[in-house]
Chain A
Amino acid sequence: MTAFGEKLANANEQLKIINQPAGLPKFEEKFKQTGEDKLSARELEIFQVNIGKLCNQVCKHCHVDAGPDRSEIMTRETMKLCLDALSKSKIQIVDITGGAPEMNPNFKWFISELNKLNKHIMVRSNLTILIANGFKEYPGFLAENKVEIISSLPYYTASNTDRQRGEGVFDKSIRAIRTLNELGYGKENSGLVFNLVYNPIGAFLPPKQESLERDYKRELWNRFGLVFNNLFTITNLPISRFLDYLIESENYLSYMNRLISAFNPAAALNVMCRNTISVGWDGRLYDCDFNQMLELPISGNASKYIKDFDPNSLTNRLIVTGQHCYGCTAGAGSSCGGSTV
Chain B
Amino acid sequence: METYYNPEDLPKFETMKEGSPELWNKFSDWYGAVFAEGALSEREKALIALAVAHAVQCPYCIDAYTQASLEKGSSLEQMTEAVHVACAIRGGASLVHGLQMKNVHGKLTM
Contact = CB atoms under 8 A, between A and B. Distances in A.
Interface string A140-159: 00000000000000010101
B54 interface: no
A207 B76 contact: no
Contacts of B76: 159-160
Contact of B42 (A159, A160, A208): A208
Interface string A185-221: 0000000000000001010111110011001000000
Interface of B: 37, 41-43, 67, 70-73, 75-77
Contact of B73 (A159, A202, A207): A207
A159 B70 CA distance: 15
A215 B43 contact: yes
Contacts of B77: 157, 159
A160 B75 contact: yes
5 contacts: A157-B75, A159-B77, A200-B71, A204-B67, A208-B73
A205 B67 CA distance: 9
Interface residues of A, number: 14
B71 A206 contact: yes
Contact of B43 (A155, A202, A204, A211): A211
A155 B78 CA distance: 13
A191 to B, nearest CB: 30
Contacts of A212: 73
A211 B42 contact: yes
Contacts of A202: 70
Give the most central of B42, B73, B76: most A CB within 10 Å.
B73
A205 B75 contact: no
A119 to B, nearest CB: 34
Contact of A211 (B41, B67, B70): B41
Contacts of B37: 211
A301 to B, nearest CB: 41
Interface string A8-24: 00000000000000000
Interface in A157-198: 157, 159-160
A200 B74 CA distance: 11
A-B interface, 7 closest residue pairs, ranked by CB to CB distance from nearest: A207-B73, A212-B73, A204-B70, A205-B71, A207-B72, A204-B71, A160-B75
A173 to B, nearest CB: 16
Interface string A276-319: 00000000000000000000000000000000000000000000
Nearest to A198: B73
Given A200-B71, A211-B37, A211-B43, 17 more contacts: A157-B75, A157-B77, A159-B75, A159-B76, A159-B77, A160-B75, A200-B70, A204-B67, A204-B70, A205-B71, A206-B71, A207-B71, A207-B73, A211-B72, A211-B73, A212-B73, A215-B43
A211 B72 CA distance: 8
Contacts of A204: 67, 70-71
B71 A155 contact: no
A207 B75 contact: no
Nearest to A205: B71
A155 B70 contact: no
A61 to B, nearest CB: 14
A202 B73 CA distance: 12
Nearest to B72: A207
Contacts of B42: 208, 211
Nearest to B46: A207
A157 B70 CA distance: 14
B25 to A, nearest CB: 20
A215 B47 CA distance: 15
A157 B77 CA distance: 10
B7 to A, nearest CB: 10
Contacts of A155: 75
A118 B77 CA distance: 46
Contacts of A160: 75-76
A259 to B, nearest CB: 12
